[in-house]
Structure 1
Amino acid sequence: MLSPHLPTPSPRLRALNTQALLAQHSGLWRAAHLGHSTQPCWPSGFAALDAELPGGGWPTQALSELLQAQPGEAELRLLAPALAASSGGSGSKPLLLINPPHEPHALPGLGERELLWLQPSSVAQALWSAEQALASNAVVVVAWLERADAAQLRRLQAAAQHCSSPAFVLRPLGCAAQSSPAPLRLSLACAGPGMLQLQLLKRRGPPCAQPLWLQAWPGALQQQLSPRQQGAATAPPPTPAPLAQPRVDARRAHASAAR
């Protein structure tokens, strides 16, 4: 109970005090604003996507969950720029693919990063492999998990908190209605030969109602097309011109109405 001798703080003063408290703690964020990651992020290679991701890129020490209807169609096209930009250095980690939908061969666009491949014989083995790989912090993990419940994903999220690189889990699009501990969730679809459509389903910040359209060619095809050809192929179709309206003589229309 407030003392009768002390004045009650005004609403404006309470708001100022709240803002000061928020400014003192960088880990706090308001849901109406895009969050700021306290950990380093990897630029995705797409300026439009980085502008919508907290921290300006793929988060480290956390899971990023990609959902799509058809696995193996577009995920590596989305991830290749970030993986290529971080490869080749002395601290570069191998890329570990766990249970990919297709047998990986040469993967154009991924730079000089060493590629490892695991094909577990069961869902339990795939989850165990992903958890151990994340906890080791020795590889960049991209894991395709057809089935995983919330408890299993929480174990992966806990293991990913030790990673100095992003960690990606790919699941069916039907899992979008299920809860997930991953701080970042996106749906991904191929929208043409050189275009990807992304929808941000979960992030530290306000909802993103509009989908993102990203130009992302398959690596082998991109090497064969000139920048002009790439731009022409991904350009949206021209908007048709409106049909010309017939001209009506006002005097003739008035005479017809009088009859």
Structure 2
Amino acid sequence: MSPASVATSAPLVPPPLGRLPLDDARLQGRLWRGSSLSTAADPALASGFAALDAELPGGGWPLRAVTELLTPQPGVLEWRLLAPALRDWWAAQALPAATPSRRGRAATPALRSLLLINPPHTPHLPGLQALGLPPAALVWVEAGTPAQALWAAEQAIKSRVAMLAWLPETQPEQIRRLQVNALSSDAPAFLMRPERVQQQSSAAPLRLVVQPGEGWELNVHLLKRRGPAHEGWLQLSAVPGEVEPLLTAAKRKPLPVPAPEPTPTPVSPPMERHHALARPVLQA
């Protein structure tokens, strides 16, 4: 290139700071202020708890992300918290498709399964069916090693099926890999981990601590979310559907704490008073 052509070429002027074009529509809604909840356009699944949905970005469980549930004891609280959302997810995808098939009948979409990877207890099919999850929707995967369980979780996310995985030994870099794969999936993905890993870093955009509350309540704290820090705990009434009709109004509420009984005041033994005429008998 000659010097003359260089001199006559238009100079490259960088765009002013703060005026970078956002041509990709996928970036819209992915930026938010730290003082407000994210309003991303990604789909969300209502949790079934109005108080919880009000605190979750998008108004429900994210469908393009991995959600971590940290509990003190695995296999006890997860189903009561997740059953309403999983039931609605299964019912929504089981509806017939709007476009007719070649024979003129409404085509039914292929139903996606719900994978249970290394649950701490054997899944109780009658109990899960009572929660609204038919046995045909459930696939139980029992991996022999943590590496196999992690591989099964990754394949489930890539296959766009709902997943509940109990992975207590998962490392931060492994969770990051799962989160990257979840960006292209529209099915819920939940990781159950012990409560003691709260201080570990995690690429999951949503992390919750779940503890048992009084009566049938669940205490939920949002440890991490796309938005401001969550203060305090949410008390969610999580009575199983089959149990609720059997409970009276009093049994649905936490039992009142009995008042402590007053400590009895010790009573001093009465002073023994001898008769004035009582005298020791002197023996001769």
**What's the TM-score once normalised by structure 2's chain length?**
0.70
Determine if contact 2:216/2:254 at 8 Å carries over to the other structure: no
Q: Are 1:114 and 2:137 an aligned pair?
A: yes
Q: 1:45 aligns with which of 48, 54, 59?
A: 48
Which residue does 1:156 correspond to in 2? 178
Note the C-alpha offset of 1:160: 1.2
Note the C-alpha offset of 1:236: 6.9
Share of identical aligned residues, percent? 45
Which residue does 1:104 correspond to in 2? 123
Which residue does 1:10 correspond to in 2? none
1:1-80 equivalence runs, <5 A: 25-80=28-83
3-state SS in 2 of match to 1:116 = strand
Q: Are 1:205 and 2:227 an aligned pair?
A: yes
Note the C-alpha offset of 1:85: 1.3
3-state SS in 2 of match to 1:86 = helix
For structure 2, list consecutive stretches of 5 or more residues without a partner in the other structure.
1-17, 96-108, 260-284
For 2:218, give the aligned amino acid: L
Q: Cα deviation per residue 1:29-82 (whole Å; 9 max; x = unaligned)?
A: 100001112211000000000000000000011000000110011101000000
Determine if contact 1:77/1:219 at 8 Å carries over to the other structure: no
Shift in CA distance, 28/80, structure 1 to aligned 2, threshold 3 Å:
same
3-state SS in 2 of match to 1:103 = coil
3-state SS in 1 of match to 2:246 = coil
Determine if contact 1:67/1:170 at 8 Å carries over to the other structure: yes
Q: Are 1:136 and 2:163 an aligned pair?
A: no
CA distance in 2, matches of 1:223, 1:35: 38
Shift in CA distance, 236/26, structure 1 to aligned 2, threshold 3 Å:
farther
Note the C-alpha offset of 1:26: 2.8
Which residue does 2:148 correspond to in 1? 125
Q: Matched residue pairs, number?
A: 216
For 2:114, give the aligned amino acid: L
1:78-97 equivalence runs, <5 A: 78-88=81-91, 89-90=94-95, 92-97=111-116
3-state SS in 2 of match to 1:181 = coil
Shift in CA distance, 238/148, structure 1 to aligned 2, threshold 3 Å:
closer
For 2:253, give the aligned amino acid: T
For 1:218, give the aligned amino acid: P
Note the C-alpha offset of 1:235: 4.5
3-state SS in 2 of match to 1:180 = coil
CA distance in 2, matches of 1:98, 1:186: 19
Q: Cα deviation per residue 1:88-137 (whole Å; 9 max; x = unaligned)?
A: 32455221110001000221213447111011011000000000110111
Determine if contact 1:85/1:111 at 8 Å carries over to the other structure: no
Which residue does 1:218 correspond to in 2? 240
Determine if contact 1:72/1:101 at 8 Å carries over to the other structure: yes
Larger radius of gyration: 2
3-state SS in 2 of match to 1:186 = strand
Q: 1:167 aligns with which of 172, 181, 189?
A: 189
Which residue does 2:4 correspond to in 1? none
Determine if contact 1:66/1:185 at 8 Å carries over to the other structure: yes
Shift in CA distance, 238/123, structure 1 to aligned 2, threshold 3 Å:
closer
3-state SS in 2 of match to 1:169 = strand
3-state SS in 2 of match to 1:87 = helix
Note the C-alpha offset of 1:219: 4.3
Note the C-alpha offset of 1:193: 3.6
With 181-190 and 92-101 compared, the bigger mean Cα shift is at 92-101
CA distance in 2, matches of 1:204, 1:80: 23
Which residue does 1:234 correspond to in 2? 253
With 157-166 and 37-46 compared, the bigger mean Cα shift is at 157-166
With 84-93 and 125-134 compared, the bigger mean Cα shift is at 84-93
With 146-155 and 109-118 compared, the bigger mean Cα shift is at 109-118
Note the C-alpha offset of 1:174: 0.8
- The runs of 4+ residues in structure 1 deviating greater than 6 Å are none
